[in-house]
Amino acid sequence: MGFSTRPRILVTAGRGREADEYCEALREAGADPLLIAPGEPAPELTDVGGLVLTGGGDVDPALYGGELELAKGVDGDRDKLERLLLREAREQRMPTLCICRGLQIANVAFGGSLIGDIPASDSPATAIPHAPLGPNGAPRRDVIDEHIVRIAPGSLLARTAQTLNLATGSRHHQAAGRCADDLRVVASTDDGVIEALEAKFENPFWLAVQWHPESTRDLDAGASRAIFGGFVRAAVRPCVRPGGASGGATSAVPR
């Protein structure tokens, strides 16, 4: 089936959490977001053009053999919902964008693991801030000059953001550990923290980023807007359905 030039995008969010920035970014890029929260029935994906997984609390450590005491804000219903949607979207080759926690649950859903707490891990100590606080004691939502993401040449992210070195925001205490076999690492900071994953399986646009492009659309010379724009353009096109008609099916930025 085809989609209109304004595709509907299914957006997951935590129970009672705001998702305004994500929805604004999608509308700005030309899409109509449809929000779903934990505990609600999983919708049919045939009526939407893409899937966005947003930030929030930690993934249940029991899903990847992690330590429960390091986790904050675990919601088993959300984990279950997003794992189901990720697998169904993969089967339908649906464009997918995963942000912050979204990257983490995607890595776990496909068999990877997480670092339960970056400060408590064995990662090399560096001056790179991953969860800096602002003057008011709240997590910073702007671009952090010292937080430079190194992007793999030729990756979907590099082609979309049009750069190999990107200063981003950062507000997370966890990160991807062992990368799932069906995903690949395409960006990291200099301390080895994974900042972006892409799919090895066939999909018009599948990208997971650890930072928050929805918060930095006016701050990074267009890279954040390009991520949402590339995703939405891919979602306009009909996806390849098993046994059905096909659209684009390569990991290329739609033109």
Give catalytic residue positions: 100, 212, 214
Between CA 229 and CA 146 the distance in angstroms is: 26
Of the candidates 54, 38, 57, the one whose C-alpha atom is nearest the C-alpha of residue 208 is 54
Between CA 221 and CA 225 the distance in angstroms is: 9
Query: Residue 58: helix, strand or coil by DSSP?
Result: coil
Residue 186: burial class (beta carbons within 10 Å; 0-12, 13-18, 19+): buried
Strands (E), 158-233: 165-167, 175-176, 183-188, 194-199, 206-209
Q: Give me the torsion for CA of 241, 245, 251, 255, rounded to 10°.
A: -130
Between CA 230 and CA 191 the distance in angstroms is: 28
Between CA 32 and CA 9 the distance in angstroms is: 6
What single letter denotes the amino acid at residue 58?
Answer: D
